[in-house]
Amino acid sequence: MSKDLKFLQLERLQAVLNRVYKEVPFYRALFDREKLDPEEFGDLSDLNKYPFTTREDLQKNYPYNMFAVPLREVVRIQASTGTTGEPIVAGYTRNDLAILADLNAKALKSMGLTKEDVVQISFHAGLFSSAFGIQSGAEKIGASVIPINFEDPKKQLKILQDYRTTTLVCTPSYALWLAEVLPQTNINPNSLMVKRIILCGEAFTEKQRSLIEEKFKARVYNLYAVMEIFGAAVAYECHERKGLHFQEEHFLVEVLNPETLLPVKAEEVGEIVITTLTKEALPLVRYRTGDLVIIKEGLCPCGNVTLLTSGILGRKDEILSVRGIKFHPSQVEKIIEETTGERLEMQIHLYRSEGVERITLLVALGESLFSDSFAEQEKVRERLEEHLYLELNLPIVVKFIERSSFERKDGKILKVVDKR
């Protein structure tokens, strides 16, 4: 990292700490408890002493208590769907939105996007915040944007062909689904204009990348989004595609060992911890994203000197991310308890079919359910599916099974079986 950048970070960090201490009761109490005085903050290394902010903190302060500005200065409010407990609410001031557009424009530009491009942004519900950010960035560049909010892959492909889309933005699982459906349509892949596909919202493997590239004959780019932090473009892959570049003028990024919470060396796995430097409405200090990456050594040939990491490898906690929607297994347990009135054992099966992520929930037959008639069971099952869909925004297939037939490891019932 260059000296100038470090200096800019220090300057902005001081202002952020002073501001959150003054404006956010949560941080004031937290810093006071740890006997930290932001006025004493004189060097970037002082940040080590500061406590972390977690998802739970944001949930406890639902909805507006983490905001550092009065609500009348907030011009956009977005909330996460399907997280544990209360949703996480993110607010943006006018200035925040301008920066968000800048960040996205910078990321898209480095992927080669110009005003000649037609950008099809296809996200469903849970990923609105990323979609808006990318849209504003693309519009800033002057590209033609087609925002889409439905799932039918055949219609999506028709638009891809008819509107002569050059850039498709979606989640990896959706791109895989489209790749799967493509041969079933009468669209000739060679006739498509699409030349780049930007994937956002989930982790994906290099194998999946090459599969999508092969099917669409387009280059795949990775765009990293953290809804709580800023939405999309916290980090991005440039045209060299050597890894994720973090936008360090706006985010102070630490990569820490999730156990010891000490910085990891290059080529080691660590959790991304972010402190926002320019965000006004919802500044966060040392926010633990839960996303795991590997720091890469050396510089990217594109000449950008900011932190370079691998793509997101996965998550350090049990939080599951399916189609970009994040939820915790305990949340599913709670829904089961609320619906059936019993605390039943369960197992979540994640798998892919037709390229798209699917969830099957296996629930143990409890005593009361066991004795009920089949019709009665069926009613409970339907109620549970409906309840799950309403809470998590994900279609989940529920099956009742006997307790003995759960998949186990060392005698324990696994809560999650991930076969994606």
Partner 1 sequence: MLLIKGLDVYYGKLHILKKVTLHLNTGEIVALLGANGAGKSTLLKALIGLVKNQSGEILYQDKPLHHLPPEKRVSLGLTLVPEGKGIFKPLTVEENLLLGSYSWYAFKKGKLLKESLDEIYTLFPMLKEKRKQLAGTLSGGQQQILAIARALMSKPTLLLLDEPSMGIAPNLVKEIFQHIKKLKEKLNLSILIVEQNAKSALSIADRAYIMETGKIIFEGEATSIAGHPEVQRAYLGRDIDTEVPL
**Residues in contact with partner 1 by the rule CB under 8 A:** 4, 7-8, 10-12, 14-15, 18-19, 22, 38-43, 69-70, 72-73, 95, 98, 278, 280
For partner 1, give the closer residue by CB, 4 or 162. Answer: 4
For partner 1, give the closer residue by CB, 129 or 278. Answer: 278
Burial 33-52 (b: 16+ CB within 10 A, else e): eeebebeebeeeebbeebeb
DSSP 251-265: EEEEEE-TTT-PBPP
Residue 2 CB, nearest approach to partner 1 (Å): 13
For partner 1, give the closer residue by CB, 177 or 251. Answer: 251
For partner 1, give the closer residue by CB, 71 or 397. Answer: 71
Residue 74 CB, nearest approach to partner 1 (Å): 11
For partner 1, give the closer residue by CB, 66 or 181. Answer: 66
User: For residue 98, what are its two tokens?
Assistant: 């301008």
Helix (H, G, I), strand (E, B) or coil at 242: coil
DSSP 112-136: T--TT-EEEEE--GGGHHHHHHHHH
Nearest to 80 by CA among 70, 92, 91, 90: 90
Residue 230 CB, nearest approach to partner 1 (Å): 16
Spatial contact of 397 and 358, defined as CB atoms under 8 Å apart: yes
Residue 43 CB, nearest approach to partner 1 (Å): 7
For partner 1, give the closer residue by CB, 43 or 152. Answer: 43
CA distance to 151, 158, 271, 289, per residue, from 162 (Å): 17, 6, 42, 39
For partner 1, give the closer residue by CB, 23 or 213. Answer: 23
Spatial contact of 420 and 358, defined as CB atoms under 8 Å apart: no
Residues in Cβ contact with 228 at an 8 Å cutoff, skipping those fewer than 6 apart: 55, 58, 80, 88, 90, 282, 284, 287, 289
Residue 360 CB, nearest approach to partner 1 (Å): 49
Residue 7 CB, nearest approach to partner 1 (Å): 6
Burial 290-319 (b: 16+ CB within 10 A, else e): bbbbbbbeeebeeebebbbbbbbeebbeeb
Residue 92 CB, nearest approach to partner 1 (Å): 14
For partner 1, give the closer residue by CB, 73 or 385. Answer: 73
Spatial contact of 309 and 296, defined as CB atoms under 8 Å apart: yes
For partner 1, give the closer residue by CB, 37 or 378. Answer: 37
**Distance (Å, whole) CA 63 – CA 204:** 31
SS3 string of 284-336?
CCCEEEEEEEEECCCCCCCCCCCCEECCCCEECCCCEEECCEEECHHHHHHHH
Residue 201 CB, nearest approach to partner 1 (Å): 29
User: 320: which strand partners?
Assistant: 327
Residue 106 CB, nearest approach to partner 1 (Å): 15
For partner 1, give the closer residue by CB, 9 or 59. Answer: 9
Residue 9 CB, nearest approach to partner 1 (Å): 10
Spatial contact of 103 and 248, defined as CB atoms under 8 Å apart: no
**Distance (Å, whole) CA 204 – CA 208:** 6
Residue 285 CB, nearest approach to partner 1 (Å): 15
Q: What is the dihedral of CA 140, 218, 170, 244, to 10 degrees?
A: -70
For partner 1, give the closer residue by CB, 283 or 324. Answer: 283
